Structure 1
Amino acid sequence: MTGPPQPPDFDGFLLLVGKLNYAWTNTESLLIHLIAGLSGMDKETATVVFLTLNTTRARIDLVERLSKLERTAPTERQRVLALTGRIQKQAALRNRYNHCIYAFDSEGNPRTILMRIADRKDRLMIGQSDPLDDAAAGNIETAIEKLAAINRDIWQAIRELGYPE
């Protein structure tokens, strides 16, 4: 006999979000090596550039724009763009759990409330709410696995393309 889905332990869920953040920042930091390799600068200078850009979007934009320069070989460009595309696909989930309010209903079930305005043609949508259930936890676990794979693939590209390590 199965009942309604049970919410995961809230502390356990927060631990999962922490693991997601760790996997995200660890993988995002590898953009430093892509910036260095694509621009021809040393890793220290690339680190300054990376830290000066204060959003993931700006950092990915820089990597993608550098890869699109004519001097970049088409195979190198395709490889870098595929990697940044994979990172971007994980951004929505990460952003959902980092830019929300965590709330509880009257029965103590946790949920997220997005802190974003969705501007539609004739109305605004505010406060989209999603339960913190087994499906949500599974999505985070999958994202962590995907980020780990992206991380490994970026390191492989860094080495194969001869970018500064």
Structure 2
Amino acid sequence: MTAPAPEPPNSGEAGLSAFDQLLLLVGRMNYSWTNTESLLIHLIAGLAGTSKQTAVIIYLTLNTTRARVDLVDRLAKSGTVSAELRQRITDLTARIRKHQSLRNHYSHSIYSFDAETGATRTITMRIADRKDALKMGRSDDVDAEALTRIKDTIEALKLLNHEIWALVLEQGYPA
């Protein structure tokens, strides 16, 4: 069983620049994300009726979060679990998907900051093909609202983690 994540540092922690606070929050979000996503292993094992070891192999073979979440959804919808359990699982996976875009944004961006003002921006590392052009390098400010969204995602992932563990233990899935 994975231990719950310790609390993130306070955003007003003395001595930390806004950029350092951002890096700490992004690190905490990524840790919380990985910790929670790994719980899909237990759902895969239980829903597929296999061992934890086999579920780990399946999990690692699927190399994207989307594929892993899709697998859990499909197993839940395959008719081997009750309608109530299927709904609980698909609600959990929907909540994982909800937070995936924010996590991906901060994990797959580069950061720029103004040394004089301390203003921080993300620059998305993605190419968008348009009809006759390419768009790349979308830039967004990292302001108080952005930091709040990251903190909210960390809290939501913490809650998801606990709810998934509760379901795994309640259902007797391999832990």
TM-score normalized with structure 2 length: 0.84
Task: Summarize deviations over 1:13-52 as a string: whole Å, max 9, x none.
Answer: 1011000001000000000000000000011111111111
Cα distance in 1 between the residues matched to 2:105 and 2:151: 14
1:9 maps to a residue whose letter is A
1:26 paired residue number: 35
In the alignment, does 2:60 pair up with 1:73?
no
Cα distance in 1 between the residues matched to 2:59 and 2:36: 13
Task: Summarize deviations over 1:80-127 as a string: whole Å, max 9, x none.
Answer: 111000001000000000111111247452210111133455654322
Cα distance in 1 between the residues matched to 2:52 and 2:107: 29
2:165 maps to a residue whose letter is W
In the alignment, does 2:159 pair up with 1:159?
no
The question of whether the paired residues in 1 share the 8 Å contact of 2:19 and 2:113 is answered with no
Q: CA RMSD in A?
A: 1.6
Deviation at 1:160, TM superposition (A): 1.8
Cα distance in 2 between the residues matched to 1:147 and 1:106: 32
Task: Summarize deviations over 1:60-91 as a string: whole Å, max 9, x none.
Answer: 11111111112222111111111000001000
Q: Which of residues 63, 66, 70 is equivalent to 2:72?
A: 63
Cα distance in 2 between the residues matched to 1:60 and 1:41: 17
Farther off after superposition, 65-74 or 39-48: 65-74
Q: Which of residues 136, 139, 148 is equivalent to 1:129?
A: 139
2:160 paired residue number: 150
Paired residue secondary structure (1:18): helix
Cα distance in 1 between the residues matched to 2:84 and 2:166: 15
Deviation at 1:141, TM superposition (A): 0.4
Task: Summarize deviations over 1:99-158 as a string: whole Å, max 9, x none.
Answer: 111112474522101111334556543221111221111110000000001111111111
In the alignment, does 2:122 pair up with 1:112?
yes
TM-score normalized with structure 1 length: 0.89
Cα distance in 2 between the residues matched to 1:125 and 1:135: 25
Farther off after superposition, 18-27 or 103-112: 103-112
Cα distance in 2 between the residues matched to 1:29 and 1:48: 12
Paired residue secondary structure (1:70): coil
Paired residue secondary structure (1:164): coil
Structure with more contact order per residue of length (Cα contacts < 8 Å, sep ≥ 6): 1
Farther off after superposition, 117-126 or 23-32: 117-126
Q: Which of residues 115, 138, 141 is equivalent to 2:151?
A: 141
Count of aligned residue pairs for this structure pair: 158
Paired residue secondary structure (1:112): strand
Structure 1: which 5+ residue stretches go unaligned?
Answer: 1-7
1:88 paired residue number: 97
Cα distance in 1 between the residues matched to 2:46 and 2:68: 14
